[in-house]
Amino acid sequence: MADLQPTVLVVEDEPAQLEVLAYNLEGEGFRVVRTQNGSEALLLVEEEAPDLVLLDWMLPGTSGIEICRQIKTNPAHRLTPVIMLSARSEEVDKVRGLETGADDYVVKPYSLVELLARVRAQLRRSRAAALGERLSFDDIVLDSETHKVFRKGHELKLGPTEFRLLTTFLEKPGRVWSREQLLDRVWGRDIYVDTRTVDVHIGRLRKALMRDGGEDPIRTVRGAGYALG
């Protein structure tokens, strides 16, 4: 999420254009993941959770529009900015008309300076939005606006206490929280709750998070408390 080096996924079937884009993005300090293939693009979105996707509209196989639609309807990735690259301005009009949810559109041939400026603008915007609405760690995503939690893109059912516990963990992944600190944060200072109650709710949270399999993301730190990751 807040990587110092944001990951940009570039999906472009023309090798020369792909190279130029990757070269220039890397020159700007981005980590670049690339593919010429539409269906591989969707796999890479899952595996790499890129901070931004640069997506060619005309691709063999799965079209850019279909890829964009799938990214934007996946709760785990819908906030990932997508910039569509189109060969002609009529295509851009069409993309707009189709309401794929793309965040920006650039017509080929584009100016690299302008394209890079748009990439940076989208990243700034999504960072700000993510801070407000979405917390994530690994394959877990919590949307604080809709109060929904997802793991690997599947929605999980959490009770209100488990939801607040997970929010606390997601705010500082890796930090070890003592039971007392969790009581203060999740239940509030003025309420008397036995520290064992924390263990009970941690158990429920773990169960919910591992409902569809996957590793236990919550670490028990002996004598200290709990941590995410």
Task: Using CB under 5 A, list all residues that contact Ca ion.
Answer: 13, 56, 58
Nearer to Ca ion, 17 or 220 (CB): 17
Question: Which residue is at the shortest CB distance from Ca ion?
Answer: 58
Nearer to Ca ion, 15 or 188 (CB): 15
Burial of 207 (0-12, 13-18, 19+ CB in 10 A): exposed
Nearer to Ca ion, 36 or 168 (CB): 36
Nearer to Ca ion, 87 or 221 (CB): 87
Q: What is the nearest approach in angstroms of Ca ion to the Cβ of residue 117?
A: 22
Token pair 């070269």 is at which residue? 23
Nearer to Ca ion, 36 or 80 (CB): 36
Q: What is the nearest approach in angstroms of Ca ion to the Cβ of residue 48?
A: 21
Ramachandran area for residue 62 (φ above 0: left; ψ -120 to 50: alpha; else beta): beta
* CA gap 167, 142 in Å, rounded: 7
Give the chain's radius of gyration (CA, Å).
21
Residue 129's Cβ-side half-sphere holds a number of Cα atoms within 13 Å equal to 13
> Parallel, antiparallel, or unpaired: how do β-strands 148-151 and 176-177 relate?
unpaired
Q: What is the nearest approach in angstroms of Ca ion to the Cβ of residue 15?
A: 11
Give the residue from 21, 177, 151, 164 showing the smallest Cα distance to 85.
21
Q: What is the nearest approach in angstroms of Ca ion to the Cβ of residue 108?
A: 9
Q: What is the nearest approach in angstroms of Ca ion to the Cβ of residue 20?
A: 13
Give the residue from 107, 66, 59 showing the smallest Cα distance to 83.
107
Nearer to Ca ion, 78 or 108 (CB): 108
Cα→Cα distances 146→67, 149, 155, 173, Å: 24, 9, 12, 21
Q: What is the nearest approach in angstroms of Ca ion to the Cβ of residue 161?
A: 50
